[in-house]
Structure 1
């Protein structure tokens, strides 16, 4: 009953039940009247026995169709996935030199750029998308805007630099979201927001992620502001970069990125290839770009009920040579 907008219409099912009972009654009375004939030969000629049960098909179809139509009129409700009208998403991308590793061809940064542009291109219209890059410091490249092309163009201009200040990137994203929320009328009227953090390495600035500007502190701040962080650990444990002729190992750091996600109330993902990264972004698109809304679901009931009513009429003409 809770799935129906107008459940009182179901009282019409009593009428359908009464119609079914009346049909059974009429069938029995018809046979009783026929039995009043004393001459059995005459009885067989006047009211021959109908052994075929197909004659009941038209009324059965009619009763089922009426039941479906009544349920349709009662307006059943269902959850539907619909595009969000508004939301805020900040892409926070690591541009430290470890992103030049070639374990994800052609390099981690090039693959990350391709996936980020694909994500921006396919994200639901109306969602405010921004871009922040971070190495030793954070830089806001695109403030949140529904113009996703701006983010795509900025992604192409990412340049690598020294060090990894993950916390600064998160703090910058939080500030951008709060600034937009203030423009939109305050946190109470603000659309849902999320930070998507892509990185491959451990934070190096500051040394301790629990410092005031550290990544874990920033994650707790995001939790306080009700902004979950979806972290993506991108790369493999075998990654290396060429620094002046020396191959330096740059394995991904799953542990710290998982903790950032947990502290903020977000989700942690891993991606060891461009295909895997695209799948992660597709998952995020579904979570961010769509929402479930309860709405009218009567159309299927009305369509099937109407088709069965028409089928009942054709069956009556074909089997009983009359309408039910």
Structure 2
């Protein structure tokens, strides 16, 4: 249905009437004129042309002013009531892209891939299910970088993850810095909605902030940290020799989760990782109902454009007038 957001703007329709009644008449400025003794014959030849032009010069500005008043009243097309997506968590994902994530000890659809590729597949599916969450992403290696802010645009978050690569943030691992950056971005958000899911396959080897110090900051600012240790117990090396997997500091990750009210998970393959993110869906559900909304489409530009066209048309009309036997 059509509605006007500022209906009081229609009061402007009274201004021309008030001006006509209250303002003094302008004096006749006179001007150069050619006296025509055969004025009656000219009028007869012109017929209705002069009258039509005069009426157009009067009605075009009047109609343009009416349309401007309509535009000022902000006409809007109001749609049907819609239920927006439920509002959920402020969810920050921290993904390890250090050098060890290049280990090809995972499988996706029967094909051997490196750890980061497996993470992209699993987290991509996880993002599809987080309708209503505001999601951000941090990539960390030797340093931690926020590549997307908290946003409802989950497709952008997924695109940034899909285009990331091993070593993008350095070859070492700064777990503490990743947690500290997440706390900095989440601490201004409403309490009870601040969630960090941190995935790593290694040990903190660099960074300005130690993991347990960062965990204390998270606890103070009520950020729940879920830690995910990812990587096979062993990986196949050259000539079929079994090599030990990269070391994972499970004890520190467990303590980080326990101190902040989160949970620790261990994933040794892609299937276990997918199960963990399904469990995180259950632990942090989208649960708050949003208020219903009615979409509104602004229409003011249509009458405003029509008024402009009428004014331009008025300028193109001939300005000659016939007055009491003279042409000016």
Q: TM-score range by the shorter chain?
A: 0.5 to 0.7
Q: Is the 8 A contact 1:238 1:251 kept in 2?
A: no
1:238 aligns with 2:234: yes
Q: CA RMSD in A?
A: 2.3
Name the structure 2 match of 1:197. Answer: 198
The alpha carbon displacement at 1:156 in A equals: 0.7
Q: Is the 8 A contact 2:132 2:286 kept in 1?
A: no
Name the structure 1 match of 2:278. Answer: 282
1:218 aligns with 2:214: yes
1:150-299 aligned within 5 A: 150-161=156-167, 162-179=171-188, 181=189, 187=190, 190=191, 192-206=193-207, 213-239=209-235, 249-291=245-287
Normalising by structure 2, report the TM-score: 0.55
1:126 aligns with 2:122: no
Runs (5+) with no aligned partner, structure 2: 1-84, 108-112, 290-328
Normalising by structure 1, report the TM-score: 0.55
Q: Is the 8 A contact 1:236 1:252 kept in 2?
A: no
The alpha carbon displacement at 1:150 in A equals: 1.1
The alpha carbon displacement at 1:290 in A equals: 3.4
Q: Which runs of 4+ in 1 moved over 6 A?
A: none
Partner Cα distance (2:274, 2:178) in 1: 22
1:47-126 aligned within 5 A: 85-105=87-107, 106-123=113-130, 125-126=131-132
The alpha carbon displacement at 1:263 in A equals: 2.0
Q: Is the 8 A contact 2:100 2:202 kept in 1?
A: yes
The alpha carbon displacement at 1:191 in A equals: 5.8
The alpha carbon displacement at 1:255 in A equals: 1.8
Could you say which structure has the higher helix fraction? 1
The alpha carbon displacement at 1:249 in A equals: 4.6
The alpha carbon displacement at 1:130 in A equals: 0.6
Partner Cα distance (1:136, 1:240) in 2: 26
Partner Cα distance (1:241, 1:96) in 2: 20
The alpha carbon displacement at 1:227 in A equals: 0.7
The alpha carbon displacement at 1:232 in A equals: 0.5
The alpha carbon displacement at 1:240 in A equals: 7.1
Partner Cα distance (2:288, 2:251) in 1: 32
Deviations 1:180-204 (A, max 9, x none): x2xxxxx4xx561100000010100
Partner Cα distance (2:232, 2:253) in 1: 14
